[in-house]
Amino acid sequence: MSSACSVPVIAIDGPSGSGKGTIARMMASELGFHFLDSGALYRILALAAQRRGIALDDEQALAAVSGELDIRFPADSASEQVLLDGEDVSRDIRSEEAGAGASRVAALPGVRQALLERQRAFRQPPGLVADGRDMGTVVFPDAGVKIFLTASSEERARRRYNQLKEKGLPADYDEILADIRARDERDSSRSVAPLKPARDAVVVDTTELDIEATAQRVREIIKNRLNP
């Protein structure tokens, strides 16, 4: 067994709006673990492609670019700061456009392969909380804790709608719901690493749970799995 494999990994997967980003960051911070926001890597790639004029279906060019991007997550896990070539792109990658672009580039096998080792390199002592779609199935299949957070598409659309309203941004519930369904469909039906729970994942439906109740449930799962 290589030394990296002895570093504990908590894989938290699920669709967007399930609360996994918030929960994963919270757990990393509470445990003092490193944090991998794998969705940010696909979002950054979509942004870089847009800036360099690379088509979002040009698999070869995108795979080549994924290998050379200078990406850094400089601050502690509670912060959402992301640097691309030294520039703070934290806000840019959170746009709806970058999210939709990320979902498209993430469907390309060559891109996923090119980002695989990059993601595994985040596994450093004392441990890692990894947030994504395929953390438990593909990137860290040997993770000691695998959690799949989900919620109904209507509830996830409602959360997104409220988030946008709180930020004073325009929001249309029906449009958001349609986007969520389209993205779920693309993420779940792609041939490589589709969005689905690992066989040994604990599935938590957060439709009826607020963030604190979800965090409590996730803490219990982590405690039981890390120290059985």
Q: Answer yes or no whether residue 106 interacts with ligand DC by CB under 6 A.
A: yes
Q: Answer yes or no whether residue 187 interacts with ligand DC by CB under 6 A.
A: yes
Which of the ranges 38-46, 64-72, 121-129, 170-178 carries the binding residues for ligand DC, by CB under 6 A? 38-46
Which one of residues 133, 146, 159, 160 is an interface residue with ligand DC (CB under 6 A)? 133
Which one of residues 123, 160, 183, 217 is an interface residue with ligand DC (CB under 6 A)? 183
Q: Answer yes or no whether residue 179 interacts with ligand DC by CB under 6 A.
A: no
Sequence-ordered list of residues with C-beta below 8 angstroms from that of 211, at least 6 positions apart, any chain: 19, 22, 23
Q: Answer yes or no whether residue 19 interacts with ligand DC by CB under 6 A.
A: no
* Nearest residue (beta carbon) to ligand DC: 39
What is the distance in angstroms between the CA of the first residue and the CA of the last residue of the chain?
Answer: 21
How many residues touch ligand DC (CB under 6 A)? 14
Q: Which is nearer to ligand DC, 155 or 187 (CB)?
A: 187
Query: SS3 letters for the chain?
Result: CCHHHHCCEEEEECCCCCCHHHHHHHHHHHHCCEEEEHHHHHHHHHHHHHHHCCCCCCHHHHHHHHHHCCEECCCCCCCCCCEECCEECCCHHHCHHHHHHHHHHCCCHHHHHHHHHHHHCCCCCCCEEEEECCHHHHHCCCCCEEEEEECCHHHHHHHHHHHHHHCCCCCCHHHHHHHHHHHHHHHHHCCCCCCCCCCCCEEEECCCCCHHHHHHHHHHHHHHHHCC
Q: Answer yes or no whether residue 99 interacts with ligand DC by CB under 6 A.
A: yes
Sequence-ordered list of residues with C-beta below 8 angstroms from that of 3, at least 6 positions apart, any chain: none
Binding mask 40-59 toward ligand DC (x if CB under 6 A, else -) reads: --xx----------------
Which one of residues 132, 146, 156, 161 is an interface residue with ligand DC (CB under 6 A)? 132
Least distance in Å: CB of 17 to ligand DC? 9
Which one of residues 10, 19, 38, 214 is an interface residue with ligand DC (CB under 6 A)? 38
Q: Answer yes or no whether residue 146 interacts with ligand DC by CB under 6 A.
A: no
Q: Answer yes or no whether residue 103 interacts with ligand DC by CB under 6 A.
A: yes
Q: Which is nearer to ligand DC, 8 or 19 (CB)?
A: 19
Q: What is the contact surface with ligand DC in residues (CB under 6 A)?
A: 16, 38-39, 42-43, 99, 102-103, 106, 132-134, 183, 187
